[in-house]
Structure 1
Amino acid sequence: MKAILCNEFGLPESLVLAEIPSPSPAKGQVLISVKACGVNFPDTLMIQGKYQIKPPMPFSPGGEISGIITAVGEGVDTFKVGDKVFALTGFGGFAEEAVAEVSRTLLMPDDMDFITASSVMYTYGTSYHALKNRANLQSGETLLVLGAAGGVGLAAVALGKIMGAKVIAAASSDEKLALCQEYGATELINYEKENLRERIKTITNDKGVDVIYDPVGGHFTEPAFRSIAWKGRYLVVGFATGSIANLPLNLALLKGASIVGVFWGAFSNKEREESMLNFQELLQWFGNGQLKTHVHAHYSLAQASEALNEIIHRKVMGKLIVIP
């Protein structure tokens, strides 16, 4: 089979397209013919050796796949050959075939296509876990989403609307903000042109924001945190700018605020029943049309490096998909 391989840590240009043997499913695993694979920010970190998980070399990036089961491992009785599924693999998805643990594999709804199925788990799984389990976002509260047009950001905007929040989207261009408005944001901040703190003060009548969703980090973190409301929750989701800010902790004291870490990958492993419950709720919303994915572009395996570079340089609105 064909696969994109990371033979040494580095930038996307160091990846190679190679012909390798097909994997075999072990006990409790299934083998999937990959029809689509979502491209996510952790993929860019993993190939550089900057992620919490460091797979053994060589490996294929790509942790979120959809496809058709072609073989099942020992003890697997919940899936059969021919089932259409989507799965979290962690890595291995930029390939024509990949193995997945049964515990991290779901049947695709009949009305869901492979592209949509490969773009649900990371972005919507992360954002729903953040807003529901970590922030306990309530209807009527105010939600600020930084990097709001990216994959997880746009998912947070859409979910915030469904959960009854007033959603403020902050992004780096008017084009990105227009997309956020389509997904449910009622207030927009272009933080390349506008003062983030002053706009938040105006929008909230100086009350501040109840929940801040931050997948960006860097120099936006402190002004955003200074704009948090009393008993607000600051969700630390990621660091797309590549910089981790240092916060004066007295701000948390003065605001009675919480700084809350969001590590969805660990949650999906450690609290699998709750994670699967979240997905059941998400699939209901996709089924009735309340949620949808925005796919920015499709790429072939040979173009996978280009897709990863688009993520690194923050040129993406919504999701990128690799189609083997």
Structure 2
Amino acid sequence: MSTSAKMMRAFLVRQFGGIDQMKLERVPVPTVGDKQVLIKVYSSGVNPVDTYVRSGQYKVLPDLPYIPGKDAAGVVHSVGASVTKFKRGDRVFSSQTNRMGTLAEYACVDEPNVFPLARSLSFYEGAAIGIPYFTAYRALIHKALAKGGERVLIHGASGAVGIAATQIAKKLGLYVVGTAGSKEGIELVLRTGADEVVNHRDPKYIDKLSVGEKFDIILEMLSNVNLGHDLNLMNSGARTIVIGCRGPVNIHPRDLMTTEGSIIGCALYAASHDEIQETGSALVRGIREGWVRPAIDMVYGFELAREAHSAVVQTRGSKGKHVIEVQKEP
């Protein structure tokens, strides 16, 4: 981050650890690079991965100090000399920022990770697109190679990634069965377009899923809890995509041999430039067509960013995305 005369408010992490390591400070506004876009951030999205990075429990860690946050929505403040797609004043959303992230009044983002935000979506909704929708698209399209007519089980379908996956799957013509952990979450998933929803807090919910037809694709948000069960819910040649995990798991490989199914990992940071651009283009079309519609669970004031980090991994019964209002839209 280059020195600038202008200062901004930002949360800075100088040491990996708990939420107390996130401190609100005044730091220089970053100077835009040649192929970068400087965004005036109105909303910053909060994802579980943000908490894993902050605590130092993630494979890819930024150099310290760093500003947390990967997703943002706002307006273009300035652009680098080689930027061709954006100009000052454009409404945009972003994903996959560098170490100087989006939990700040301004964020510098490489041009390929910035996308136009139509006025049909609010800045809150724009900040809910990045990680959730790019992850869901990668899981279904790049990893599962989903095609119309297949059956997909989406664990945690009421969370931000689950909502995104449900919308993408229905656009592709899949039959969607989701799980959620609250009455409100179940209603949200049904409104989003799922064909069936099961309460995963019901002790017999696995039995209920086992009664009917099995699945061609399973999107697994909590593989340390569910993966063993997933192997018995798979059709022949099915694919279980591991999106989230919070610990080790024991499975019986014979269950996988029976179906000749696959367990495939999904990590957004491994996506290529072309995959990111393909995903972004598809989502921008989806916004224009009206089927990309993020669900917002909670909006926090900027000073409450630490509480948002805590809630995103501790709240039971998710109902969409947690978003931080960095500054108010004029």
TM-score calculated relative to the size of structure 1: 0.92
Give the Å deviation of 1:172.
Answer: 2.2
1:59 aligns with 66
Give the Å deviation of 1:175.
Answer: 2.5
Task: State which of 260, 265, 284 in structure 2 corresponds to 1:261.
Answer: 265
1:290 aligns with 291
Task: State which of 3, 6, 9 in structure 1 corresponds to 2:13.
Answer: 6
Give the Å deviation of 1:90.
Answer: 4.6
Does the 8 A contact of 1:196 with 1:224 survive in 2? no
Does the 8 A contact of 1:237 with 1:261 survive in 2? yes
Distance 1:251 1:164 in 2: 28
Does the 8 A contact of 2:115 with 2:280 survive in 1? no
| 1:34 matches 2:41 | yes
1:213 aligns with 219
What letter matches 1:323 in structure 2? E
Distance 1:164 1:303 in 2: 40
1:322 aligns with 324
1:77 aligns with 84
1:141 aligns with 150
**Deviation by residue 1:199-231 (Cα, 9 ceiling, x = unmatched):** 122232xxx211000011222211122211111
Distance 1:282 1:75 in 2: 24
What letter matches 2:128 in structure 1? S
Distance 1:238 1:3 in 2: 28
What letter matches 1:273 in structure 2? D
Indicate the percent of aligned positions where both proteins have the same amino acid.
27
Distance 1:234 1:90 in 2: 30
Does the 8 A contact of 2:39 with 2:77 survive in 1? yes
The alignment yields a C-alpha RMSD, in angstroms, of 1.7
Distance 2:275 2:90 in 1: 24
SS of aligned partner of 1:106: strand
2:4 aligns with none
Give the Å deviation of 1:50.
Answer: 1.0
Q: Which moved more, 1:225-234 or 1:8-17?
A: 8-17
Give the Å deviation of 1:276.
Answer: 1.7
Distance 1:177 1:154 in 2: 11
SS of aligned partner of 1:9: coil
Give the Å deviation of 1:314.
Answer: 3.4
Distance 2:119 2:206 in 1: 45
SS of aligned partner of 1:20: strand
Runs of 5+ consecutive residues of structure 1 not aligned to the other structure: none
Q: Which moved more, 1:93-102 or 1:214-223?
A: 214-223
Task: State which of 185, 189, 205 in structure 1 corresponds to 2:198.
Answer: 189
What letter matches 1:318 in structure 2? G
Task: State which of 166, 188, 199 in structure 2 corresponds to 1:179.
Answer: 188
Runs of 5+ consecutive residues of structure 2 not aligned to the other structure: 1-7
**Structure 1 residue runs of 4+, over 6 Å off?**
none
- What are the equivalent positions in structure 2 for 1:306-317 lying under 5 Å apart? 306-315=307-316, 316-317=318-319
Task: State which of 125, 139, 156 in structure 2 corresponds to 1:130.
Answer: 139
Task: State which of 248, 253, 267 in structure 2 corresponds to 1:249.
Answer: 253
TM-score calculated relative to the size of structure 2: 0.90
Q: 1:90 to 1:187 in 2, by over 3 A?
A: farther
Does the 8 A contact of 1:212 with 1:234 survive in 2? yes
Distance 1:47 1:145 in 2: 27
**Deviation by residue 1:127-170 (Cα, 9 ceiling, x = unmatched):** 01211121122222111111111110121122222221111111
Does the 8 A contact of 2:14 with 2:65 survive in 1? yes
SS of aligned partner of 1:153: helix
SS of aligned partner of 2:108: strand
What letter matches 1:40 in structure 2? N
